[in-house]
Amino acid sequence: MKRLITLVMASLLFFSFVPEFASANSPTSLVNTAKKYMGTPYRLGGTTPTAFDCSGFTQYVFKEEGLSIPRTTGQQIAVGTSIAKSNLEVGDLVFFNTSGRGVSHVGIYVGANNFIHASASKGVMVSSLDDPYYWKSRYIGARRVANFTDNVSTENKVAASAPVKEIVYATRGEIAQVLAEKLDLDMTTVNVTFKDVDESNPHYKAISAVAEANIFSGDAGNFNPNKELTRAQMAKVLVGAFELRGSAIAKFSDVPAGHWATEYINILFYHEITTGYLDGTFGLSDKVSVGQLNKFIDRINN
């Protein structure tokens, strides 16, 4: 498996020729990520899949999707845009007063008046906002901290009104860092010969280590450490690296039959490695974040 990861990373480092534009995650992806942790136990102060408290859970899920929100419930209700209950959309944060002293609980709205949250009694679960015995009377408001509607085919664009940091896209330098660390490459001996990489680059040792391992070579003497990657590029990399076969007609509205990546995207769709967005697009030119890159690796391993 380590060799397979190496193949993926090496291909990523070679393949970077498609135009790229700003992007944002889909609400479907956010909900799917949240539901991965169904049944995870509750622990006050918990911030990892071992155990979550309510705000630790929401922060972790959003972080995995490439979106940064504060740690505590009180801080989370202060970011983004206030949303009326009648205007809730999938991905909105919903807040409750369960202590009698103000906001004390948070979850993620998943549609149909339901929300997913880390319950103190049952861990991560889905509950109804209309539950007459508990949640309905304790609901106090909602905040939209990510904009999934202006451009639902994009992947990391945070709502302009929200004081939330935009996720960093995966660059060749960052990929080199991920690769060097995952493969435990020797980063003590540095012998970088790329014209555009010196000791001031934070990935200097990792780039040298990956190069020394003969996993990639540069382009005309340059490494292009700040070059970014797209979903279309990732599709080609995964299909080629893992020799995937089979195809389904995905019919994404932004993937024409003659596009160079159409076959690769259809193969990934066939294997359920990737899906499109709610507006029927694939997001050919959407940039891939570091978090999303790790998610692809997780899917490969699983």
Residue 83 pairs in a beta bridge with 142
Q: At what angle do helices 27-35 and 54-64 cross, to 10 degrees?
A: 130
From the candidates 54, 203, 259, 271, give the one annotated as an active-site residue.
Answer: 54
From the candidates 105, 203, 259, 271, give the one annotated as an active-site residue.
Answer: 105
Q: Is 117 a catalytic residue?
A: yes
Structure tokens at 259: 């596009």
Q: Is 54 a catalytic residue?
A: yes
Asked if 118 contacts 43 with a C-beta cutoff of 8 angstroms, the reply is no
Asked if 231 contacts 284 with a C-beta cutoff of 8 angstroms, the reply is yes
Q: Is 105 a catalytic residue?
A: yes
Active site residues: 54, 105, 117
